[in-house]
Copies of this chain bind each other. A is one copy, B any other.
Amino acid sequence: MERLQEAIAQGAIDVASTNLSNGVAECQWVVVCTPIQQIAAHVVSAAKAAPQAMITDVGSTKESLVRQLASFPNLRFVGSHPMAGSEKSGCQHGSASLFDRRLVFVTPSTATPKTWTEEVRKFWEAVGAQSVAIDPGQHDLCVAQVSHLPHLIASALATSTDPHWIPMAASGWSSTTRVAAGDPALWTQILMENRTPVLQATRKFATILQAWVDALESGDGKKIEQLLEAGKQSRDALGNRHPSS
C-alpha cells in the first residue's frame, strides 16, 4: 500500500485498492498493467467483477496472452502494447505526455469484434498515442526486432566494456547502451515470454556480426564500408521520429 499512498499523495491516481474485484467493480475501462505471466488471470478476474468494462493490457508480448484468453469467448478484452515508457519505473517517473505521438499496438484475435478493436484504439488515441491494429503473432515478431533485440544487444555491449574504460564513454556508448539500465526481472519475463522470435532475431544479428568479424580480420575496407552503408540506410529510414533518444 505504501507505493499506492505515494501515488495518491502525488495526484497520480485518485483511488487505490489492492482488491481487484472491488477496485474494478464500477469501471468502464480496465487497463491491466501487471507482470506478463499474471495478465491473463487478472483479465479474467476483472471481467467477472466488471462485465460492463472494456478491458485491455499493456503487456509487451501478445500471442501467448491472446491464445490463453481465447477459451473465454465472452471477455470484453482486446490486447494492447504501448511503445512508451523508459528504463525508469515508479509513479514519480510518470508523465502526462507519456503517450504523445507514441505508437500503441492493438492486437485483436480473429474472433474479436471490430467495434471493440476500434474502441480500444480510440482509448489510446484519446491519451495522445497513435494506434495500429496488428495480429498478435506479427506483433511479437515485430517487437522482437525493434524492442527486445535492441535491449539484449545494449546489455551485451555494456557488459563487454572493461569497467575501467566506462568513465571515458561518450554519447555513442551512452545511447547505444541506454536501455540496458532497465529492470532485469521485468526484462527476463519479457524475453522469456517472447523467446522464440527473440532467438530468431538474435541469430540474424549474429550472422551480420560474423560478417563484421570477417571484414575486420581480412582488413576489407570496401566490405566494412558496405556494412556501414547498410546500417546507415536502415537507421535513416526511421527519420527524426525520436530526436530526443
Which residues of A are at the interface with B, using a C-beta cutoff of 8 A?
83-84, 86, 102-103, 105, 132, 141-143, 145-147, 149-163, 165-182, 184-185, 187-188, 191-192, 195, 198-199, 201-206, 208-210, 212-213, 216-217, 219, 221, 224-225, 227-232, 234-238, 241-242, 244-245
Contact = CB atoms under 8 A, between A and B. Distances in A.
A225 B195 contact: no
Contacts of A86: 171
B227 A159 contact: yes
A185 B103 contact: no
Q: This chain: how many copies in the complex?
A: 2
A118 B82 CA distance: 52
Contact of A162 (B145, B155, B203, B235): B145
Nearest to A244: B244
B142 A212 contact: no
A142 to B, nearest CB: 5
Given A86-B171, A141-B165, A202-B212, 10 more contacts: A84-B170, A146-B161, A147-B170, A147-B173, A158-B230, A160-B204, A161-B234, A176-B177, A177-B238, A180-B231
A208 to B, nearest CB: 4
